[in-house]
Amino acid sequence: MAKITPMWLNSGISGRADRTSNTYTKTNKITGKTYAVTLRNPVSSKDFNNNQIKANNKFGALCMGISAWLRAAKAADASAEDKAQLEKFQKALKSQNHYPTVRSLIMGKRYATINEALSAVTIADGEYTKTVEITYNARPLIEGNEDPDFGGENGSSGSSQGGSQTGGSTGGNTGDNTGGNTGGNTGGGDNGDGPSEG
């Protein structure tokens, strides 16, 4: 995100100037510095594939759970343990200038986790642990809308493909095919521009 010097035109703007703009601005309340980012190739949420929808659902549910915990910890009838933990987070927020809010600090430092069903968020810091039940209206997945380039369930992205060979090794190369096989090749044959060495 680029750092910009605020002017009278954008000092009060948070977010987009209008619906057609792809530039977002945000002022850090602690430091007073304004940041801007421009989306070069914006993707509409209606064009999301299933992996993006899952990530979007997880982020939304996590935000909802953290906000619910903050409301409960700030309430008049909150437990002493919850109030003490909130004060601890607020002190941590004041001692740094990277995160502008307590919610962003909790999320950024990974004090909050969510279960697979997106129904409960757990706030954990040291010996303190609190689980908040939520009801999140998750966006449904679309059948057959997987994107192999985005990464699958195991986090792998893309595919590793080898080149074709006219020699004695099997399986093809996984990498650069100039100058022979990387990793050695037994069996001889023509494997590229250079000699094949074991």
Per-residue pLDDT of the chain (198 residues; tens, 9 = 90+): 566 555 545 555 677 766 677 788 888 777 878 888 887 766 666 678 888 889 999 999 999 999 999 999 999 999 999 999 999 999 999 999 889 899 999 999 999 999 999 999 999 999 999 999 999 988 888 887 766 554 444 444 444 444 444 444 444 444 444 444 444 444 444 444 444 444
β-strand pairing of 2-4 with 189-190: unpaired
User: Tokens 């510095």 belong to which residue?
Assistant: 33
Residue 15 Ramachandran class (φ > 0 left, ψ -120 to 50 alpha, else beta):
left
Question: Strand, coil or helix: what is 132?
Answer: strand
Q: Of 6, 41, 46, whose CA–CA distance to 26 is shortest?
A: 6
Question: What is the model's pLDDT at position 12?
Answer: 59
Max Cα distance, the chain (Å): 79
Question: What is the model's pLDDT at position 33?
Answer: 80
Q: What are the extents of the domains in the chain?
A: 2-40, 49-133
Question: What is the model's pLDDT at position 148?
Answer: 58
Chain center to CA of 19: 24
- How far, in Å, CA of 45 to CA of 192, rounded? 45
User: Tokens 């080149």 belong to which residue?
Assistant: 163
- How far, in Å, CA of 7 to CA of 10, rounded? 6
- How far, in Å, CA of 99 to CA of 38, rounded? 20
47's enclosing H/E stretch is none
- How far, in Å, CA of 147 to CA of 143, rounded? 12
Question: What is the model's pLDDT at position 192?
Answer: 46
Question: What is the model's pLDDT at position 65?
Answer: 95
